[in-house]
């Protein structure tokens, strides 16, 4: 077990890079496997989650290697996927397993999936139900891993109106749609991150997306597209950037810049919320790279006030709620988050972990099945070191390490090795700008 201690720090300053975006990294590898020819990937996130997807694709017969500068995925299209000779272990990665289930379901192969302790408890019904509509036979442990997929030769195109706004479910259905002969139709109540749609379009698929004024989004994808291998430059991850950004917002006199971050507006809900709270966040050097908006984020320490987060914003900050809770502890008044029930299905039950752990410090926190409210209090100063178990959730670990930077007696996060699922350089990057971390 790795533990990291975080103790009160002076102001954070400097310019940093966070690693490549996790969602786009998974997709670049997976879509590279669907295309004809060579896909080259620059700035791939080399974290445990992404490597789980990479190794699974290798076991499915896809040739993936690293050159000095790029990763290369060589494929002859979806027909080249083979029966693996082992069970595919996706470790901690929900994105990896759910997207790969969609990929293999139309490939006429049999594939079994398993994960770590956390992934094995996560709900898979959300992807099993639509995939079964395509004629795929799926054996599961009561809608959980381990799962075996008996792929179909030509899947029936799925028409699915999801009750959940989830980019993982959407991407799973779209990947299945690549192998079917007709049009796959998918809708969700509020648009979730659209990297799969953007990347499929960039690689030559006929894909159309329609936004409605109430937030609903509908997608139509034509089956059997001739996807061509492309060059992807992965922007840096706004979800990872949220940790140093949050720490700079709450540690007096801090000022940092985070370079080349993905600023797709379906990923920037955290930044919109902290701006509404009075936070100094400025985006600059905006440009388009491989079909995504990219730019720099300038953050300064700010006096913050509590807000009510609009429910429609939830999908665009879904991964940032743990660190947003930490920011809310330093705002004047109450911050209210509702419509966040799916946080209970992440790498841990993030509502329970945030609420129970913040109560250990004495913060005034309330929760229900689908909400959290926090009353900020800058005067909380525990008399001794507080110990937090990450529960193998990288974002719980990083959130409390950021909170520790304001605590005289520090915070010790146990099972901190989980941070390498998404942000392997977290310790070094934070130390570089002045965070007082110890191993």
Q: Which positions touch ligand S3P (CB under 6 A)?
A: 23, 95, 166-168, 171, 192-193, 318-319
Q: What is the 3-state secondary structure (H, E, C) of 246-293?
A: HHHHHCCCCEEEEEEEECCCCCCHHHHHHHHCCCEEEEEEEEEECCEE
CB contact at 8 A, 337 and 362: no
Q: How far is the CB of 166 from ligand S3P (least distance, A)?
A: 3
Q: Which DSSP state fits 228?
A: B
Residue nearest to ligand S3P (CB): 23
Q: How far is the CB of 345 from ligand S3P (least distance, A)?
A: 7
| CA gap 392, 415 in Å, rounded | 6
Q: How far is the CB of 2 from ligand S3P (least distance, A)?
A: 22
Alpha helices (runs of H) in 120-257, residue ranges in sequence order:
125-133, 167-177, 195-202, 238-250
The residue among 193 and 313 lying less far from ligand S3P, judged by its C-beta, is 193
The residue among 199 and 331 lying less far from ligand S3P, judged by its C-beta, is 199
Which residues touch 357 (CB under 8 Å, ≥6 apart)?
388, 396, 400
The residue among 23 and 118 lying less far from ligand S3P, judged by its C-beta, is 23
The residue among 192 and 357 lying less far from ligand S3P, judged by its C-beta, is 192
Q: Which DSSP state fits 401?
A: H
| CA gap 175, 180 in Å, rounded | 10
In whole angstroms, what separates CA 98 from the centre of its chain? Answer: 13
Q: How far is the CB of 410 from ligand S3P (least distance, A)?
A: 28
* Residues annotated catalytic, as ranges: 319
The residue among 44 and 256 lying less far from ligand S3P, judged by its C-beta, is 44
Cα 179 to Cα 83, 104, 108, 151, 200: the distances in Å are: 16, 9, 10, 11, 13
């Amino acid at each position: 077990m790795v533990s990291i201690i975080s103790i009160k720090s002076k102001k954070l300053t400097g310019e940093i890079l966070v690693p490549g975006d996790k969602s786009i990294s998974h997709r670049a590898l997976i879509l590279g496997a669907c295309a004809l020819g060579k896909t080259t990937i620059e700035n791939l996130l080399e974290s445990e989650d992404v490597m789980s997807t990479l190794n699974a694709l290798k076991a499915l017969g896809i040739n993936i290697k690293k050159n000095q500068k790029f990763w290369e995925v060589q494929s002859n299209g979806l027909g080249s996927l083979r029966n693996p000779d082992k069970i595919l272990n996706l470790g901690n990665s929900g994105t990896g397993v759910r997207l790969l289930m969609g990929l293999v379901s139309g490939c006429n192969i049999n594939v079994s999936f398993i994960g770590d302790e956390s992934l094995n408890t996560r709900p898979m019904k959300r992807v099993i139900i639509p995939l079964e509509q395509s004629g795929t036979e799926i054996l599961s442990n009561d809608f959980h891993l381990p799962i075996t997929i008996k792929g179909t030769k030509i899947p029936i195109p799925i028409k699915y109106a999801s009750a959940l706004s989830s980019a993982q479910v959407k991407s799973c259905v779209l990947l299945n749609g690549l192998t079917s002969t007709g049009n796959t139709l998918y809708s969700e109540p509020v648009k979730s991150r659209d990297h799969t749609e953007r990347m499929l379009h960039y690689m030559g698929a006929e894909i159309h997306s329609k936004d409605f004024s109430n937030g609903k989004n509908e997608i139509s994808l034509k089956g059997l597209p001739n996807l061509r291998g492309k060059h992807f430059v992965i922007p840096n991850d706004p979800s990872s950037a949220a940790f140093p950004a949050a720490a700079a917002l709450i540690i007096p006199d801090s000022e940092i810049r985070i370079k080349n971050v993905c600023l797709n507006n379906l990923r920037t809900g955290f930044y919109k919320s902290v701006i509404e709270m009075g936070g100094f966040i400025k985006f600059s050097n905006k440009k388009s790279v491989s079909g995504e908006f990219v730019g720099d984020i300038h953050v300064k320490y700010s006096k913050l006030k509590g807000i009510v987060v609009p429910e429609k914003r939830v999908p665009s900050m879904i991964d940032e709620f743990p660190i947003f809770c930490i920011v809310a502890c330093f705002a004047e008044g109450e911050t209210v988050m509702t419509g966040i029930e799916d946080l209970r299905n992440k790498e841990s039950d993030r509502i329970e972990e945030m609420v129970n752990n913040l109560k250990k410090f004495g913060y005034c926190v309330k929760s229900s099945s689908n909400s959290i409210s926090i009353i900020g209090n800058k005067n909380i100063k525990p008399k001794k070191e507080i110990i937090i178990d990450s529960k193998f959730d990288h974002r719980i670990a990083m959130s409390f390490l950021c909170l520790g930077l304001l605590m005289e007696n520090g915070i010790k996060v146990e099972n901190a090795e989980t941070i390498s699922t998404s942000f392997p350089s977290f310790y070094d990057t934070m130390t570089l700008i002045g965070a007082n971390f110890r191993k």
